[in-house]
Amino acid sequence: MRLNRLSSGISFSATLALDSRAKELASSGVDVVSMAVGEPDFDAPRVAREAARVAVEGGSVRYTPVAGTPALRAAIARHLSATRGGTWTPNEVTVCHSAKHALASALACTVEPGDEVLLVLPAWNSYGEQVRIVGGVPVSVEPRSDCGPDIAALEAAVTERTRGIMVNSPSNPSGYVWTRAETEAFGAFCERHDLWILSDEIYRRLVFEGEPQVSPASLSDSLRARTMIVDGASKSYAMTGYRIGFVAAPPEVAAAVARLESQVTGCPNAISQAAYLAALAPEGPDADPLAEPPEVEAMCAEFNRRRRVIVDGLSALGLEVPWPRGAFYAFPNVASVLDERGSVGFCEDLLESESLAIVPGSVFGMDQHVRLSYATSMAKIEEALTRLGRFLETRRA
Ligand code: PMP
Ligand code: GLU
């Protein structure tokens, strides 16, 4: 059969491909350390697992309303009001099959063919492909050297075809968290050029020091009116395999996403919706909206401990690391040890010689860097640093 131009032009997600490769090597007996995939190495909170079990054993796992169960949409609206400020209502929320799918659906409802969409580098590897899938043109914009947003560079990238911008704070892959002042300057930029904002806030809970994450939607009514927030259960609650997330946006956008989903997925997984509801409101719908399962705080504390070990370890190996205030990635600059094959060659050689799997910065638009996910045990982090140190010695020799 002949594939169409769209599908033959799409690349396989590099993060997922590398993870599969590392798993394949491990199952063939190689002692692989994988810091490739960004996936919490914790179990879902007990309350979420219990809710999933009850949903299944209750026997009536059926289609739910397309936009999600009323209880889950109400819980998400309450959670948004408590964490992003203002008052959110369920008609601004459409539950989706994962945050990844929520991003794709939000783009499908806003991008016209030929629209330019700005991506702030380093940008998660799926953004560019998702924009292309719906006929848009991704336009990458370099950050400052600390991986913070460079408003002057964004200004310079705007053309008469620019319609929107995708942002991700805390960032995958750099861990950079935008300050309130940066978000305000960014908001003013979007107002000036009348851009919509797709704000991927999947790592919101994972900020380890300093100011918390600030959503552009929380800054003013007019910014909220141009912002689509995407979030989900994968990172905050270690529920990656449940595949559940949402879009929160002005009601007409949330409704458009639901219309699209009604034809594409039918509804999000009912079991996962029950589990996500329990994670978001572990003490029930009338309790403190900021209440969370106890495992979350413990997981964040452990990520924070690992973050310090990995950043110190990489610095001791002579690498510059943009300071990661959030998420669970370190994104060191390896420019001084790259050959002509760039970060891809670096990661291939590292996997080959030291069985250490990490992700080339090129897939995030920054070839001078590599990404290490520290969502893995402290023992593996220490072993990874030893292997990377040995590898750097050979590259520097
Ligand atoms: N955005 C970013 C930046 C991510 O790292 C991820 C993790 N894969 C997602 C969105 C999607 O999360 P999920 O599809 O697991 O909900
Ligand atoms: N967010 C993770 C990562 O960046 C999951 C993999 C993916 O969905 O691409 O590694």
Residue ending a domain, among 280, 310, 333, is: 280
285 inside domain:
no
Number of domains in the chain: 2
Residue ending a domain, among 252, 280, 308, is: 280
Q: pLDDT tens digits, the chain, 397 residues: what are they?
A: 999 988 888 989 888 888 888 899 999 999 999 999 899 999 999 999 999 999 999 988 999 999 999 999 999 999 999 999 999 999 999 999 999 999 999 999 999 999 999 999 999 999 999 999 999 999 999 999 999 999 999 999 999 999 999 999 999 999 999 999 999 999 999 999 999 999 999 999 999 999 999 999 999 999 999 999 999 999 999 999 999 999 999 999 999 999 999 999 999 999 999 999 999 999 999 999 999 999 999 999 999 999 999 999 999 999 999 999 999 999 999 999 999 999 999 999 999 999 999 999 999 999 999 999 999 999 999 999 999 999 999 999 8
Q: Kindly state whether residues 135 and 259 are assigned to the same domain.
A: yes
CATH code assigned at 162: 3.40.640.10
Q: How far is the CA of 288 from the centre of ligand 2 (A)?
A: 31
286 inside domain:
no
Q: How far is the CA of 290 from the centre of ligand 1 (A)?
A: 22
What's residue 14's pLDDT? Answer: 86
Which value, in Å, is the radius of gyration of the alpha carbons in the chain? 21
Q: Kindly state whether residues 258 and 303 are assigned to the same domain.
A: no
Ligand 2 binding pocket includes 81 (Cβ within 6 Å): no
Ligand 2 binding pocket includes 172 (Cβ within 6 Å): yes
Q: Kindly state whether residues 73 and 175 are assigned to the same domain.
A: yes
- Distance (Å, whole) CA 378 – CA 306: 6
137 inside domain:
yes
Which positions ≥6 away from 208 have C-beta within 8 Å? 300, 303, 304, 307, 325, 326
Q: Kindly state whether residues 260 and 359 are assigned to the same domain.
A: no
Q: Kindly state whether residues 14 and 90 are assigned to the same domain.
A: no
C-beta of residue 21 within 8 angstroms of C-beta of residue 30: no
Q: Kindly state whether residues 104 and 18 are assigned to the same domain.
A: no
Q: Kindly state whether residues 50 and 39 are assigned to the same domain.
A: no
73 inside domain:
yes
Q: Kindly state whether residues 305 and 363 are assigned to the same domain.
A: yes
- Most distant pair of Cα atoms in the chain: their distance: 64
Atom nearest to 244 CA in ligand 1: 16
Atom nearest to 98 CA in ligand 1: 16
User: What are the pLDDT digits (tens) for 19-74?
Assistant: 888 899 999 999 999 999 899 999 999 999 999 999 999 988 999 999 999 999 99
Residue 396 is which amino acid? R
Q: Kindly state whether residues 79 and 211 are assigned to the same domain.
A: yes
Range of the domain at 160: 46-280
Q: Kindly state whether residues 20 and 146 are assigned to the same domain.
A: no
Ligand 1 binding pocket includes 240 (Cβ within 6 Å): yes
Q: Kindly state whether residues 72 and 205 are assigned to the same domain.
A: yes
Residue ending a domain, among 245, 280, 315, is: 280
What's residue 390's pLDDT? Answer: 97
Which residue is closest in CA terms to ligand 1's atom 12?
99
Ligand 1: residue of 37, 76, 95, 100 to mutate (most ligand atoms within 8 A of CB) is 100
Ligand 2 binding pocket includes 171 (Cβ within 6 Å): no
- Distance (Å, whole) CA 47 – CA 238: 12
Instruction: Give the phi and the psi of residue 95 in degrees, each rounded to 5.
Output: -80, 140
CATH code assigned at 308: 3.90.1150.10
Q: Kindly state whether residues 242 and 116 are assigned to the same domain.
A: yes
